[in-house]
Amino acid sequence: MPNLKTDMCRAQQVAYEAYLATGSLLALTDCDKPDRIRIALALDKLAGQMENAAMEVRNLCELHRPNIHERFKKPPLSPVILTGDVSVNEYGWVHITLYTLLPHCRFQTPAYLTDTISRLLDEYEVKHPKLPRFDRAMLIVDEHCDVDSRQVYDQDNKGWKAIPNAIKGRLIDDDDQFSLQVALISTKDKEPSCHIYLIHPEDAGDFFSLRTGQFPHLYL
């Protein structure tokens, strides 16, 4: 049986640790010529702490949530308001939408993104039939942004590798180069978002024909 007081103290502690990290960041700006490199590194560290704190609190939410929906015979509410959505079309293509852009991935794969995608898939399976399973697939990551709203400039610095981590063993058996093909693309859009598609490799021609507007009556 989980210890409520101990876990609530832990939630307070992780939030306080993240708060302390913002103090050291502010200290770096308290001079005439702030060192932008040190500030960037401190921001990356702060983002990591915030992400880890959010995942830990998410787990505490799951641990201490009473199963009230069985008592009142009502469907359970979503445990966390997740910033995204999952759908599957008639061709068996999985479409994961994130209402944000991919985070920076300077040193390691963003665990928060992997966790978020896993939870979105969990939410989908509560309300829909089982998700498709691919032997081989093409993963297409399409970021929607414009020059002003983009957060990471280079494709190799974006945390897209968190996506195969979230779908491996669930939507596809393996993410090796022969099992999972990867395409990173961008679409100019004033509203930042990230659209993730998992499709059959033989459907790639149809997908990109739709994307270029060759079939104006059909939409992705």
Q: Where are the domains of the chain?
A: 4-72, 84-211
Residue 208 pLDDT? 92
Residue 219 pLDDT? 57
Please give the Cα distance from 56 to 32 (Å, whole number): 37
Residue 30 pLDDT? 80
- Predicted confidence (pLDDT) per residue in 20-49, tens digit: 878 878 888 887 788 888 888 888 778 777
Residue 3 pLDDT? 80
Q: Apex CA 38: angle with CA 34 and CA 39, to 5°?
A: 65
Please give the Cα distance from 60 to 194 (Å, whole number): 28
Residues in the chain predicted with pLDDT less than 50, given as ranges, are 68-81
For the domain 84-211, what is the CATH code? 3.30.1330
Residue 19 pLDDT? 81
Residue 21 pLDDT? 78
3-state secondary structure 2-15: CCHHHHHHHHHHHH
